[in-house]
Chains A and B, each alone.
Chain A
Amino acid sequence: MPGTRLDPAAMARRAAQELFSGAVVALGPGLPCQLPGEIPDNGVWFLADSGVLGNNGLEANSLEANSMDGNTRIVDAGGNSVGLLSGGSFTGVVDVSGILRGGHTDIAVLQPSQVAVNGDFVHWTNEATGDLMAPGSAVDMAYGAAKVVALMPHQYPPGRSNIVGTCSLPVDGAGQVNIIITDVAVINIGPSGLELVETAPGWSADDVVAITDAPLTISPNLKEMSFQVPSLEMPNKVYSNAVEALKDVPEGATVNVDGFAGPGGMAHYLMVGLRDVGVKGLELISNTAGIARMSSFGAPNIIDHSILVENNQVAKATASYPVSPSVSRPTAFEEAYQRGETELEVVPQGTLAERLRSGGAGVAAFYTPTGAGTLLGEGKEARTIDGKDYILEMGLRADFCIIRGHKADTLGNVVYKGTSRNFNPVMATTARITVVEVDEIVEPGQLGPEEIVTPGLYIDRIVLRPADFSAYL
């Protein structure tokens, strides 16, 4: 006789072994909601599609707790009441979908009702619900996460295998599941099908094969499941200075540079750092390409893109205001462009913002009315939708991003001040490495969860702008 089946807490502890420090972990409804309660440390970002980042363990039996005061509860993907970790924050479902789809989610933990040998899965529905589907965010999680963990009972209802050769119901995700963790076994899904790699205490490989309605190969390294929760901690994101935070920017890198049209909301200190690193061939994505120097009026000159241009570091700019309004006072970028030293791609401001938002949110391309029928639409696909003309614009991503916040906590949660918000939050979502410069670094929990604009999962590095730093040349 095989051993007993694992309880949900033990299954969650085994699933926790798939996580790593600082990972962004999306949890679907059902068993995955057990994970935060089994991990005592604040070492990963749990994400629920209800709009909570950093959800903590379940509060006492909360599915029945729906009531008139429901508005004040924090709910997870399963509708359970949950706590919030220090440094957690709230967001809306559209931003959650961007986190899931835009390559920001490392691991998704789902509870499918069926998984097939090729990684197809059915979410939640079964023969009783028939033709209905209940995808919720499971489809977004599965298609967006780097790794998909199916956490599910091996059989449900009793006697019926949830692991199958081919799904008997329409699938919610095609070929998306990477690993199955059940109440009796751990099974990897690879190109050659299912491989049994672990069994629960008291269960032999034969016991598992006997209740699995799909071919299993037995791993030569088959072992017993363990339930030790790994020790996880958030990586340190605070760098000592701007050069330290930017010294690995490679030659030819694409760099998002925040800012609007003046001193506010620009990462001046990081800009100086990027100049001092000296890396060449940069492609800047920014609203302007630097503003005109005002020295002829005796005013001090603000630090901006021009210091990179003058240092011969800029190969290209993608911008909506690349030129000075005054012919007699061209920007450094304009002069370099006229000399043939730089390339330029001009993009209307809203299109630039939307392209960045799409790049960050996993939208490959979108149809926008802006610029249809003008030079800006030339060479782009045109399409009429419901009688209106649109052009196809592509999502935009970058290698690095330098942005300017007001305050950040050590987890990377950022708040802005006034109009300095501008491009910062959207640019933060689009780069492989995002570096933020702030006036003040605080401990997790010191920024209100309703107040956080850029959640820490988007921020890789934090630099304090020195108190004596001047933004003027």
Chain B
Amino acid sequence: MSTDPENQSAKGKLFPSAQAALADIADGASVLVAGFAGSGVPENLLRGLADTGVSGLTLICQGAWLPISGGFGVSDLVATGQVEKMVSPMPFHPEAGGPVKELWKSGKLELEVVPQGVLAERLRAGGAGIGGVFLPTGAGTRFSEGKELRPFGGKEHVLEFALKADFALLRAKSADTLGNMVYETTGRNWNPTMAMAAAVTVAEVDQVVERGGIDPELVITQAIFIDRLVLAAEQQEIS
């Protein structure tokens, strides 16, 4: 989707660092962050986002309920104070707490809590050009308050609207220089859906291979959805 000629080098969409790949992110941006409980988290990009110094961010992500020891997770970014709002199905581990809980309790962080499948479906709709969807999930709870309800097949459904964001931060195992990507185990989680739902998508990968280096039957996220790549460990080169 990106037409920036500087991206079309021999290294394809590969940027030299996370910070370089996020240099044009603006204050107040909405950012999708992939990852589930420490699996498939774009740690290098989250650190790069913190380093850009932008503020007033809205993060849309699984949550920050298990801090990543020795790494850099959503809770570490939230702790910097750069995040104004989080949209999440599990913002923090209720027993564990952490910076998300503290900032929320002190009124410095807004939380919007949504069921996981509803968030996933809203992002999918955003990525697939669907305006809105009628879902059974959460009818009769506060997740449906203020929303249009309609019965289908005798069961109440809730109208949920599509969701898109300015940036998506993703984590994959491998990409080719075009941006075709594969994941590893549960690292897949939010990545393929979020890859479709942002204006600019940036993926952090273990390795970048030449085109043709990924079996076409195994590609999960197609290159057309990926704008920028960075390496998880920045000293690595194209293999």
Compute how far the CA of A320 lies from the CA of B90 in the bound complex, rounded to whole angstroms: 41
Residue A135 at the B interface, CB < 8 A?
A: yes
B43 nearest in chain A by CB position: A68
Task: State whether A385 and B37 are in contact (beta carbons under 8 Å apart), knowing that A135-B115, A173-B141, A367-B131 are contacts in the complex.
Answer: no
Contacting residue for B188 out of A90, A97, A100, A126, CB 8 A: A90
Query: Roughly how many angstroms separate A71 CA and B71 CA in the complex, as a whole number?
Result: 11
Contact B37 A78 (CB under 8 A): yes
* In the complex, A383 has a CB within 8 A of chain B: yes
Bound complex: CA A354 to CA B138 (Å): 23
A73, A84, A366 interface centre (most CB from chain B within 10 Å):
A366
> B36 — nearest CB in chain A belongs to which residue?
A50
Q: In the complex the two chains form, is A92's CB within 8 Å of B190's CB?
A: yes
Kindly state whether residue B87 has any CB partner on chain A within 8 Å.
Answer: no
**Which residues of B lie under 8 Å from residue A63 when comparing CB positions?**
66
A347 to chain B, nearest CB (A): 15
- Contact between B38 and A70 (Cβ–Cβ < 8 Å)? yes
If A101-B137, A385-B161 touch, whether A140 touches B116 (CB-CB below 8 Å) is yes
**In the assembled complex, which residues on chain B have CB atoms less than 8 Å from the CB atom of A96?**
117, 120
**Is there contact, CB below 8 Å, between B37 and A50?**
yes
Q: Does B124 contact A (CB under 8 A)?
A: yes
**B104: which A residues are within 8 A, CB to CB?**
132
Q: Please count how many residues in chain A sit with their CB below 8 Å of the partner chain's CB atoms.
A: 74
Count chain B CB atoms within 10 A of each CB in A48, A49, A94, A133 and give the residue with the most: A94
Complex formed: what's the CA distance from A73 to B182 in Å? 15
Contacts of A94 in B (CB 8 A): 120-121, 123-124, 192-193
B217 proximal to A (CB < 8 A) = yes
Residues of A close to B40: CB separation below 8 A: 70-71
B218 shortest CB reach to chain A, Å: 6
As a 0/1 sequence over residues 93 to 109 of chain B, the CB contacts with chain A under 8 angstroms (1 = contact) are 01000000100100000
Interface size on B, residues (CB 8 A): 74
* From A91, A133, A173, contact of B113 by CB (8 A): A133
Chain B 125-165 residues near chain A, CB threshold 8 A? 125, 128-143, 152-153, 155, 157, 161-162
CA gap between A170 and B39 in the complex, in Å: 30
Given contacts A73-B186, A92-B188, is CB(A363)–CB(B134) below 8 Å? Answer: yes
Using known A-B contacts A66-B69, A134-B94, A137-B117, determine if residue A363 contacts B135 with beta carbons closer than 8 Å: yes
CA distance A101 to B91 in the complex (A): 22
Task: Decide yes or no whether B29 CB sits under 8 A from chain A.
Answer: no
The answer to whether A388 touches B137, judged by C-beta atoms less than 8 angstroms apart, is: no
Give the residue of B94, B117, B155, B183 whose beta carbon is less than 8 angstroms from that of A140: B117
Instruction: Kindly list chain A residues whose C-beta atoms are within 8 Å of the C-beta of B192.
Output: 92, 94
B45: chain A residues within 8 A (beta carbon): none
- Are A132 and B120 closer than 8 Å at their CB atoms? no
Assess the A73–B185 pair: CB atoms within 8 A: yes
Q: Is B13 part of the contact surface with A, judged by Cβ < 8 Å? A: no
Name 12 A/B residue pairs within 8 A (Cβ), A-sorted: A70-B38, A70-B71, A71-B171, A71-B187, A79-B36, A93-B193, A94-B120, A135-B115, A140-B118, A363-B133, A366-B125, A450-B185
Q: Which residues of B contact A (CB under 8 A)?
A: 36-41, 43, 62, 65-71, 89-91, 94, 101, 104, 111, 113-118, 120-121, 123-125, 128-143, 152-153, 155, 157, 161-162, 171, 173, 182-193, 206, 217-218, 220, 232
CB-based closest 10 A-B pairs: A97-B117, A79-B37, A140-B117, A174-B140, A364-B152, A367-B131, A139-B115, A66-B38, A70-B38, A385-B131
